[in-house]
Amino acid sequence: MTEPTPQGPTRRDKTRPAELIGLSAAVGIAIGVIFLFATKNLLVAAEFAGVAFIIALVVFAMLLLAISPRRGSDDDERPRGH
């Protein structure tokens, strides 16, 4: 007998947003620390950290969309030709 496939998202699918936010936060903190040491101004460093966090989040999300296979799509069944 075969086991039924789960209908809901897998644990990996559920934790993926946390991974994206965590990586983006790490990038933002790194940029913030670099700018804090460079400018010695906490406000400027916080602004750059926030901007870096948002940019990293968007870039990581777009990369994830670009490499993730689409589920339920009929495009994979069509032959690819010219």
Report how far residue 31's alpha carbon sits from residue 43's, in angstroms, rounded to the nearest whole number. 13
CB 22 within 8 A of CB 30: no
Q: What is the pLDDT of residues 41-64, one digit of tens each?
A: 999 999 999 999 999 999 999 998
Q: What is the pLDDT of residues 30-40, one digit of tens each?
A: 999 999 999 99
Q: Which domain holds residue 36?
A: 14-67
Specify if 33 maps to a domain.
Answer: yes
Specify if 7 maps to a domain.
Answer: no
Specify if 3 maps to a domain.
Answer: no
pLDDT of 82 > 60? The answer is yes
Sign of CA dihedral 58, 65, 11, 73: positive
Specify if 63 maps to a domain.
Answer: yes
Return the DSSP state at 72: T
Sign of CA dihedral 40, 41, 42, 44: negative
pTM for the model: 0.72
Specify if 19 maps to a domain.
Answer: yes
Which residues make Cβ contacts (< 8 Å) with residue 21, sequence separation at least 6?
Answer: 57
Domain count, the chain: 1
Specify if 54 maps to a domain.
Answer: yes
Specify if 30 maps to a domain.
Answer: yes
